[in-house]
Structure 1
Amino acid sequence: MEVEITRHVGIVLEKRKSTHRWGGDIWTPVAILVDPPQTGGWQEIETGEERRLFQYGPVALTLHRKMGEAYDANIETENPALWVMLDDADTEPVPYKVRGVTVDPYEAMGVLDSGEGLVERMPVPVEILHWMVDYLKQMPDPEKFRKRRRVSHKTEEQKFGKIPIFEQGGRREGDEHDG
Structure 2
Amino acid sequence: MALVRAYLPIGIIVRKSPGVTRWAKWSWRVVAVLPGAGPADWRELRRDGDAVEYHAATLNLDLWSSDTEAYLVGLSAKIPSLIVVMREVPNSASGMPFEPVIVTASPYEGQDYLDSGDGLIESVPMPLGLIGWVRDFVQEHHVEEVFIKRKRDKKRMDLVEDGKGDARVRQLSDVYRAPRSTPTESGGAL
The question of a shared fold, defined as TM-score above 0.5 by the shorter chain, is answered with: yes
Q: Which amino acid aligns with 1:24?
A: K
User: Aligned residue pairs: how many?
Assistant: 155
Unpaired segments ≥5 residues, structure 1: 154-165, 167-171, 173-179
Instruction: Report the CA distance between 1:114 and its aligned residue.
Output: 1.0
Q: Which amino acid aligns with 2:145?
A: E
Instruction: Report the CA distance between 1:86 and its aligned residue.
Output: 0.3
Q: Which amino acid aligns with 1:97?
A: E
Instruction: Report the CA distance between 1:37 and its aligned residue.
Output: 2.3
Instruction: Report the CA distance between 1:150 and its aligned residue.
Output: 8.2
1:71 match: 71
Q: How does 1:123-142 map to 2 (within 5 A)?
A: 123-142=125-144
TM-score (norm 2): 0.72
Instruction: Report the CA distance between 1:76 and its aligned residue.
Output: 1.1
Task: Note closer, same or farther for the CA distance 1:20–1:37 as it changes in structure 2 (3 Å cut).
Answer: same
2:34 match: 33
Instruction: Report the CA distance between 1:98 and its aligned residue.
Output: 1.3
Give a deviation string over 1:120-176, Cα, whole Å, max 9, x none: 1111111111001111111243232345788999xxxxxxxxxxxx7xxxxx9xxxx
Task: Show structure 1 runs of 4+ deviating over 4 A.
Answer: 147-153
Report the secondary structure of 2:145's partner residue. Answer: coil
TM-score (norm 1): 0.76
Report the secondary structure of 1:93's partner residue. Answer: coil
2:181 match: none
What CA distance in whole angstroms lies between the structure 2 residues aligned with 1:100 and 1:50? 27
Instruction: Report the CA distance between 1:58 and its aligned residue.
Output: 2.2
Unpaired segments ≥5 residues, structure 2: 156-161, 168-190
What CA distance in whole angstroms lies between the structure 1 residues aligned with 2:16 and 2:37? 20
What CA distance in whole angstroms lies between the structure 2 residues aligned with 1:151 and 1:113? 35
Give a deviation string over 1:14-46, Cα, whole Å, max 9, x none: 11111322322100111111231222x222223
Task: Note closer, same or farther for the CA distance 1:12–1:140 as it changes in structure 2 (3 Å cut).
Answer: closer
> 1:36·1:57 contact (CA, 8 Å) conserved in 2?
no
Q: Percent identity among equivalent residues?
A: 27
Q: Which amino acid aligns with 2:70?
A: A
